[in-house]
Structures are given as C-alpha cells and as structure tokens.
Amino acid sequence: MKIYMITDLEGIAGVARWDQTGSDQPGYAQATRLMTEELCACVAGIQAVDARAEIWVWDAHGPGSIDVERFPRGALLLNRGSIEPPAFLDSTFDAVFFLGQHAKAGTLNGNLAHTYSSQGYGWFKINGLELGEFGCRAALAGSLGVPTVFISGDDTMLAEARALIPNIYGAQVKIGLGQQLALHLAPEDARDLVRDTAAQAAAHLGEIAPFVIPGPPYEQVIRIVGRTDPGHLLRHGFSQVDAQTFVKRAERLQDLHV
C-alpha cells in the first residue's frame, strides 16, 4: 500500500484561531504539537491495516505545521518548501488522505475557512465548479487516477468533501461555530477518531473512485480580494479579466493553481 497524505493545521482539534496558525504567532507551537499527534494517529491507523505501508506526508501548511522530532516512525516527510503541483504525487500511489483540512473561503461557520490564502482569495473555480484546497487537490489526484479516501476537520469541511466524494471516510474532530470559534473534541478523543477512521479508509481503498473533473481542457477562474498582488498569477500564465478576476486554461490540472 502506498499512501500520499496532505496535512494542514486549521482542521485540527484544539486549533481555532488565526493566532495559532503562523510561525510568529503565540499559539503556533502548541498547534503544531496538536497537529503532529493527530498525524501520528492517522499514520498508526494506516499501519494497523498494512504495517509495511509506504506513507508520504506532505506538510502543506504555509509555514509548516509538523514537529519533526515527533514525526511518526515508518512514514516519510515531504517538508513544506518550494514545490510545484503535483508535489511528487503520481499514479503509483493507491490513495490520498487529507488530515487537518479546513473548508473553502466563504463557508458559513467554517472554522478558519479560506482558500489557499486566508487574506488573498475570494474563490477558485475549475470548469465552473467552485472548489477549495481539498477539491482542487482531490481533482488533481483524480486526474492521475488516484482516489481521495480520507478527510479530517470540522463538520463544514466534511460536508464539502462529501459533496464531491459521497463515500469518503471522514473524521469530524470539531464543529465549526464561526471563523475563529469551534466546539472541539478532546485531543485524545480526536486522535482515537482519526486513527480508527484512517484504518477504515485504508481497509477499503478500492471502494472509492477518483474524483474527476471532466476534461481536458480545464479553465480556472480565480477571484482575488483585499490587497492581493496578482503578479504571481500573471507570471504563471493567468490572464486578467477585471480588477479582481483572473483566468487560465490548460490541458493538465497540474498546470493550474492547485
């Protein structure tokens, strides 16, 4: 079994405020410890099904969110850094797991909900379908023939995931009550849930089909907000439609902003 795991910080039990998510923020150290313990539980769930599973873990949170000294034995870490899609994901993987994911920007009561940047983007659409980070990356995996089988986060994230992949295995570790407010499971209870749900997902990989957006071609439309500098979009081949809207067309999803 070969698993590609994408981790984030905002969907972890005990993490609910922006001052926990940045490396220069007072709550960051505790948040990374909480996240790493959920990671250990997720890996343990997979290993309970296949002790020899090859598990790649990509730390996809902006400044990083994994305490490397606590990183689980038997897994492989792909650290946060300069990396372009598909971030070494390819068709040799059996499945993708999302750990600690947050809902897309604009989600009602989505705890720490945003799309790629908490300050920069209003929404992303691919072929007319509005998607957050989960949807974009699950679609990228699907274009490579790899199914997305596991998601953890708050209730709004699980609803977003199940709207795209109805039979995905989900670990709801908190209930979103607002942008910086949630009702959390105790950390140890959250870890137990993540471990058990990851084991169920690993045991039923073949039952979930890859999430596929019809194409090619693919058209991505991005809406920026606030003081976002669109230079990086223009440098990556996007065309400017108006002051806030940018569009790019491609034959491969990995050539878009995913």
Q: Could you list the pLDDT tens digit for every one of the 258 residues in the chain? A: 999 999 999 999 999 999 999 999 999 999 999 999 999 999 999 999 999 999 999 999 989 999 999 999 999 999 887 788 999 999 999 999 999 999 999 999 999 999 998 788 999 999 999 999 999 999 999 999 999 999 999 999 999 999 999 999 999 999 999 999 999 999 999 999 999 999 999 999 999 999 999 999 999 999 999 888 888 899 999 999 999 999 999 999 999 999
Q: In whole angstroms, what is the distance from residue 233 CA to residue 244 CA?
A: 11
Q: Model pTM greater than 0.75?
A: yes
Q: Sheet of 239-240: strands edge to edge?
A: 129-131, 121-126, 218-224, 245-250, 239-240
Q: How many CB atoms lie within 10 A of CB 79?
A: 12
Query: Which pairing describes strands 245-250 and 239-240: parallel, antiparallel, or unpaired?
Result: antiparallel
Q: Summarize pLDDT for 151-182 with one digit per residue, the tens.
A: 999 999 999 999 999 999 999 999 999 999 99
